């Protein structure tokens, strides 16, 4: 980590955050927010957190910007200036400044930045680093902690993503031909993809390569940055790109709504199913080492390595479907017939 | 003085980013801006965790290994902390799912009130 870079990037991040809150055009604000996320991901990559940076580049700079634009597309884009209550703003400013001052007094009590022997870096984190290779034969320690040592955490995070998808369908999904009367007055004009031949052809060539890259990211997560979350997001992004450059019905011809829900449920089922199989073989939930009894030609160490791959595939299914499902409901305003 | 500032610059920026997010969530009256504020607050916390897990002169948490399965002796201080990283990795993905829920709710509110503006929504609700 070069501290000069760190200094510049951290300052830029603050400026970008302020700009994205300042801009009156919501479309501009979400694009600036994407740039903010990308700068953030550079900072994290500089501090050695490549997996986190990878996820943020795919999620923060990619998919969440698309979600915001899909929301704005169906509603208003410009903020109309309104008279503001200044006393309310001043009060909020006071609350924020006091909270910030309290937090800043705690800064001096933190261990020095980059101290390898600080409490955070010492106990269990050091164990993971020194034992990952002999316990699980996985050199990327992030993957082995994610999918093995702390798999309960990951399983329930996957379940949270699934529940969020179900919640979004519950909130916004409308039956067709129910209330088509409420055409949104200040929405953007309907998007006609036939105008954009270049975009269509370009994305038609990009989508298969994105999907192959995503599969590589999922499968090679043991040895390089990557894994189920990143691969799933990239798979979802490739489908989102496909639906943006053509239109929603074209996507639903390839992948119906039913499959989106079903696959996301199957992902959680794969993860928890591996845990249940471990229990049936006479061990604890998600203790993969007993799987050597049923996986051919593996010892208890390699069984953990292989089980991690199975679990990551489950995560990728759920995350991909959640991204596609959230995008399609936001872009079509819950009607799933036409949209961005 | 400069040395001290550099040493704690990460933590100061974490506090600044978190306060920007908090301010947006409290004082901004547009629902989309509130969602952006929420996301900014979240990245502040992630930056905090990653800063704690960083080690001076360390490399990525991917261990050196040979193809024949021979293990090098691993010194934990040479690799960045994997634990804080995985906690934040899952937090990012859950964060985008919750952002999706927040945006969906905002869109639903817009459908019924024709505005993202808090005051306007309150006016409509009180009618």
Over range A159-173, report the average pLDDT: 92
Domain annotation for chain B: domains and CATH numbers = 2-63+74-126 (1.10.287.3510)
| CA atoms within a 13 Å half-sphere pointing along the CA-CB vector of A5 | 10
Please write the tens of the pLDDT for every residue from A74-109. Answer: 887 777 777 777 888 899 899 999 999 999 998 888
Chain B residues close to A130, C-beta within 8 Å:
74, 76
* Torsion (CA) B95, B101, B107, B112 in degrees, nearest 10: -150
Of A71, A121, A130, the CB nearest to B81: A121
Q: Is A179 on the interface with B (CB under 8 A)?
A: no
The one-character DSSP state at A292 is: G
Query: B69 and A137: CB-CB below 8 Å?
Result: yes
Chain A residues close to B80, C-beta within 8 Å:
47-49
Q: Is A43 on the interface with B (CB under 8 A)?
A: yes
Query: B30 and A79: CB-CB below 8 Å?
Result: yes
Which pLDDT score, from 0 to 100, does residue A185 have? 46
Is A200's pLDDT higher than 90? no
Query: Residue A135: closest CA among chain B residues belongs to which residue?
Result: B71
Is A194's pLDDT higher than 60? no
Please write the tens of the pLDDT for every residue from A7-43. Answer: 899 999 999 999 999 888 899 999 999 999 999 999 9
Return mean pLDDT, chain A: 87
Considering chain A, what percentage of its residues have pLDDT values greater than 70?
93
Instruction: Please identify among residues 78-107 of chain A the ones whose CB lies closer than 8 Å to any CB of chain B.
Output: 79-80, 82, 84, 88-89, 92-93, 95-97, 99-100, 103-104, 107
Which pLDDT score, from 0 to 100, does residue A52 have? 92
Is B70's pLDDT higher than 60? no
A253: confidence class by pLDDT, cuts 50, 70, 90: confident
Chain B residues close to A334, C-beta within 8 Å:
107-108
Of A84, A103, A167, the CB nearest to B101: A167
Rounded distance between C-alpha atoms, residue A268 and residue B117, angstroms? 38
Is A136's pLDDT higher than 90? no
Question: Which comes out higher in pLDDT, residue A96 or B2?
Answer: A96
H helices within chain A, ranges in order? 3-22, 26-46, 50-58, 64-74, 86-107, 119-136, 141-144, 151-172, 197-219, 228-245, 248-254, 257-280, 300-331
Chain B residues close to A329, C-beta within 8 Å:
104
Question: Which comes out higher in pLDDT, residue A191 or A233?
Answer: A233
The 10 Å Cβ neighbour count of residue A279 is 13
Is A189's pLDDT higher than 90? no
Over range A51-70, report the average pLDDT: 91
Query: B15 and A50: CB-CB below 8 Å?
Result: no
């Amino acid at each position: 980590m070069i501290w000069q870079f760190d200094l510049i990037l951290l300052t830029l991040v603050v400026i970008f955050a302020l700009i994205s809150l300042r801009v009156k055009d919501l479309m501009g604000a979400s694009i600036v927010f994407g740039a903010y996320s990308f700068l953030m991901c550079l900072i994290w990559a500089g501090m050695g957190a490549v997996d986190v940076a990878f996820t943020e580049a795919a999620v923060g700079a990619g998919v969440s910007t698309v979600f915001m634009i899909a929301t704005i597309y169906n509603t208003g884009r410009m903020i109309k200036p309104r008279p503001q209550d200044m006393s309310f703003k001043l009060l909020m400013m006071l609350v924020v400044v006091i909270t910030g001052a309290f937090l800043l007094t705690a800064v001096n009590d933190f261990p020095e930045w980059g101290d390898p022997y600080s409490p955070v870096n010492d106990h269990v984190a050091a164990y993971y680093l020194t034992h990952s290779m002999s316990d699980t034969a996985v050199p990327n320690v992030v993957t082995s902690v994610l999918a093995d040592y702390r798999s309960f955490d990951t399983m329930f995070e996957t379940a949270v993503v699934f529940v969020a998808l179900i919640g979004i369908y519950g909130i916004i999904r409308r039956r067709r031909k129910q209330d088509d009367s409420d055409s949104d007055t200040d929405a953007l004009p309907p998007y006609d993809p036939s105008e954009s031949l270049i975009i269509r052809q370009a994305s038609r060539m990009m989508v298969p390569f994105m999907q192959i890259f995503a599969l590589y990211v999922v499968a090679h997560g043991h040895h390089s940055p990557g894994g189920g979350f990143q691969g799933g997001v990239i798979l979802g992004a490739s489908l989102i790109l496909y639906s943006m450059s053509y239109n929603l019905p074209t996507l639903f011809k390839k992948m119906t709504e039913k499959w989106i829900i079903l696959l996301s449920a199957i992902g959680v089922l794969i993860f928890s199913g591996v845990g249940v199989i471990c229990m049936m073989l006479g061990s604890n939930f998600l203790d993969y080492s007993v799987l050597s009894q049923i996986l051919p030609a593996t010892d208890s160490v390699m069984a953990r390595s292989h089980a991690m791959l199975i679990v990551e595939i489950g995560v990728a299914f759920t995350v991909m479907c959640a991204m596609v499902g959230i995008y399609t409901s936001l872009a079509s305003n819950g009607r799933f017939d036409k949209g961005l | 003085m400069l040395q001290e500032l550099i040493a704690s610059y990460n933590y100061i920026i974490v506090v600044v980013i978190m306060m920007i997010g908090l301010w947006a969530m409290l004082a901004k009256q547009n629902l989309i801006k509130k969602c952006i504020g929420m996301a900014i607050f979240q990245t502040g916390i992630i930056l905090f965790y990653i800063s704690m897990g960083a080690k001076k002169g360390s490399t990525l948490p991917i261990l050196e290994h040979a193809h024949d399965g021979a293990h090098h002796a691993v010194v934990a201080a040479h690799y960045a902390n994997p634990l804080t990283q995985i906690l934040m990795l899952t937090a990012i993905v859950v964060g985008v799912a919750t952002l999706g829920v927040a945006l969906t709710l905002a869109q639903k509110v817009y459908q019924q009130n024709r505005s993202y503006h808090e005051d306007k929504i309150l006016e409509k609700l009180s009618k």
